[in-house]
């Protein structure tokens, strides 16, 4: 039996993955932004602990990490929380783009602060193929805002983060997962991919005993490994991302 923390698990893919893990006999720690959003996961999985906090801010992410750590070491962490369609540039309390703060910096900081797990699963997107990795303007202060490009960039950086951790921590299985375009609140009702399959691979990688999960530094879609964008596998790009995030948070991955 594994103990798994799933960020952004108040609804959608995060909650579905958590339910699957519990169905397989594992213990799950859930996460919601606030108490109002915690009502659905508490009803769906009574008895499972729910930590509260806003991953849009560095302070909020630190608070979430402290709550999770207080529950004991987790065998796996699923970085599921994300924002998608942000029509205008929203600046967080830390002066960062909301898309970057939630999609990239939060998983970095949680990874840096939590007791090291055996497995890390990073939710990315096939849209990372259209992302740009150079960190010359990651907060979109010099460019005209384009929410889709900002999202694509953030998902390329998430994939890069997954592979960077795999390289730095060879004893940890760190992988990225594309759940597909699924009909969640984020994806919208017209999304064409299978919702159940969208929640499956991250649960399988987090706690599955299939020998195929004994891998690291991979990118998966529906349990199948797929090629990653070249930038994500580039060590110099990985190091630049890690250094940038360490500079923002004061926390280095070592």
Active site residues: 151, 155
Token output for 1: 């039996």
Decide: residue 192, CB within 10 A, 0-12 exposed, 13-18 middle, 19+ buried: exposed
The secondary structure of residue 10, as a DSSP letter, is S
Rounded Cα–Cα distance for residues 197 and 253 (Å): 32
- H-helix or E-strand spanning residue 173: strand 173-178
Three-class secondary structure of residue 16 per DSSP: helix
State the distance between the two ends of the chain, measured CA to CA, in whole angstroms: 28
Handedness of CA 184, 222, 165, 125 (dihedral sign): negative
Residue 72 burial (CB < 10 Å; 0-12/13-18/19+)?
exposed
Residue written as token pair 């924002």: 83
Sign, CA dihedral 182-209-82-138, equals negative
């Amino acid at each position: 039996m594994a103990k798994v923390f799933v960020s952004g698990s108040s609804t959608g893919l995060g909650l579905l993955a958590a339910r699957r893990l519990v169905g397989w006999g594992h213990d799950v720690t859930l996460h919601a932004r606030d108490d109002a959003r915690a009502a659905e996961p508490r009803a769906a999985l009574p008895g499972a602990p729910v930590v509260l906090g806003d991953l849009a801010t560095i302070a909020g992410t630190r608070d979430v990490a402290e709550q999770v750590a207080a529950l004991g070491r987790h065998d796996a962490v699923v970085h599921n929380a994300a924002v998608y369609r942000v029509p205008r540039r929203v600046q967080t309390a830390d002066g960062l783009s909301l898309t970057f703060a939630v999609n990239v910096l939060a998983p970095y900081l949680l990874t840096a602060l939590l007791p090291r797990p055996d497995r890390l699963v990073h939710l990315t997107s096939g849209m990372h193929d259209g992302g740009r990795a150079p960190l010359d303007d990651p907060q979109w202060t010099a460019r005209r805002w384009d929410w889709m490009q900002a999202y694509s960039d953030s998902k390329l950086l998430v994939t890069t983060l997954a592979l960077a951790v795999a390289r730095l921590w060879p004893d940890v299985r760190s992988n990225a997962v594309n759940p597909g375009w699924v009909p969640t609140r984020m994806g919208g009702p017209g999304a064409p991919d299978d919702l159940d399959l969208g929640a499956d691979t991250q649960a399988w990688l987090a706690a599955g005993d299939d020998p195929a999960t004994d891998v690291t530094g991979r990118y998966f879609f529906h349990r199948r490994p797929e090629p990653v964008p070249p930038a994500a596998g580039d060590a110099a790009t990985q190091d630049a991302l890690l250094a940038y995030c360490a500079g923002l948070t004061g926390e280095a991955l070592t």
